[in-house]
Amino acid sequence: MNIKATLLASAVALTPAFAVAQDLTIGFSQIGSESGWRAAETTVTKQEAEKRGIDLKFADAQQKQENQIKAIRSFIAQGVDAILLAPVVATGWDEVLEEAADAEIPVVLLDRTVDAPEDLYLTAVTSDLVHEGRVAGQWLVDEMAGEPCRIVELQGTTGSSPAIDRKQGFEEGIAGAEGLEIVRSQTGDFTRSQGKVVMESFLKAEGGENICALYAHNDDMAVGAIQAIKEAGLNPGEDIKIVAIDAVPDAHLAIANGEMNATIELTPNMAGPALDALEAYLADGTAPAKWIQTESKLFTAADDNAAIYEEKKNLGY
């Protein structure tokens, strides 16, 4: 009996391809609940794992790298088949990633990358922040169709990489277009209340009727700005066109209500492409590209935003 079991176990171990389809165990080290988007990512990752019949071991690091390293070590000790890692910071991962590599456990990075040699992880699934900004800029160029437009910009937290990249992308997006210019740009710290406060000052400094469009680096600031525009007696979405990034449920609601024009999705589904790549790799060793870019989908009034809102609001945003 004992020998049989051992033989069976080693047979299974020797034919990894056989074991792949079912009974995968994957560890997921999540940063923590830093934002609504993060919560949605956790929910979607769990859903994706369940859909594929994968046993997902979830570890919440509460924004601490040492907790993530501990979690990865415990995943290695448990002998998981693969590890998903959403790294809280970029540096300091070499050692623990080497431990995983020594144990021949592939690691896939979600949403953020790390400063470590590329051979220490299988692939990184992230969105391209510059591309998101470019899509937003391109949308506005198409929307204006040659007409001039004075744009105000609500930046993210000063110095943060989403703020820098989304600004750069948008500027690239509108670069070729005549008459499109950013007249005011100020940080709204990615929050609703600052978005509202800064928009109020924009409306007064420029005069509401002289502003043609608002570009916000995230939806929360746009939602705050919408209230400021309303309080100034203007119609958001009509008098001032609004485009933002993230596609959180409240942005879909605002588009459905005609108060916002477009949002670009930062998909919380990083796990889908990651698990696809992992399954292919574990099945027959297909090495994925080192960077898998998620789709930056544009949502406008043409989409059924009310339905998307209903769908998204329970994801934990």
219 forms part of the interface with another protein (CB under 8 A): no
Q: Per-residue x/- mask for another protein, residues 253 to 292, rule CB under 8 A?
A: ----------------------------------------
Please name the amino acid found at residue 114: V
43 forms part of the interface with another protein (CB under 8 A): no
Q: What is the spatial order of strands in the sheet that 107-110 belongs to? A: 55-60, 25-30, 82-85, 107-110, 123-126, 291-293
Q: Which of 60, 99, 200, 303 binds another protein (CB under 8 A)?
A: 200
DSSP code, position 119: G
Our separate counts of H helices and E strands in the chain read 12, 12
Which among 73-81, 96-104, 142-150, 200-208 is the span making contact with another protein, rule CB under 8 A? 200-208
- Interface with another protein in residues 48-77 (CB under 8 A): none
Which among 11-19, 119-127, 152-160, 210-218 is the span making contact with another protein, rule CB under 8 A? 152-160
Q: Which is nearer to another protein, 52 or 217 (CB)?
A: 217
List C-alpha distances in Å: 88 to 93, 223, 266.
Answer: 10, 27, 18
Comparing CA positions, the residue from 70, 60, 76, 67 lying closest to residue 25 is 76
Which among 12-20, 51-59, 155-163, 286-294 is the span making contact with another protein, rule CB under 8 A? 155-163
The alpha helices in 62-160, defined as continuous H runs, are: 65-78, 94-102, 129-144
Which residue(s) pair with 89 in the sheet? Answer: none
Q: Minimum CB separation from another protein for residue 225, in Å? A: 10
- Interface with another protein in residues 165-184 (CB under 8 A): 184
Q: Which of 102, 142, 233, 289 binds another protein (CB under 8 A)?
A: 233
Q: Which of 1, 79, 159, 302 binds another protein (CB under 8 A)?
A: 159
Alpha-carbon span 253 to 108, nearest angstrom = 33
Q: Which of 6, 10, 15, 33 binds another protein (CB under 8 A)?
A: 33
Q: By three-state DSSP, how is residue 26 classified?
A: strand
The pair phi, psi for residue 85, each rounded to 5°, is: -130, 125
Alpha-carbon span 159 to 134, nearest angstrom = 19
Q: Interface residues with another protein (CB under 8 A)? A: 33-36, 39, 155, 158-159, 184-187, 189, 191-194, 196-198, 200-201, 204-205, 220, 223-224, 227, 231-233, 250, 316-317
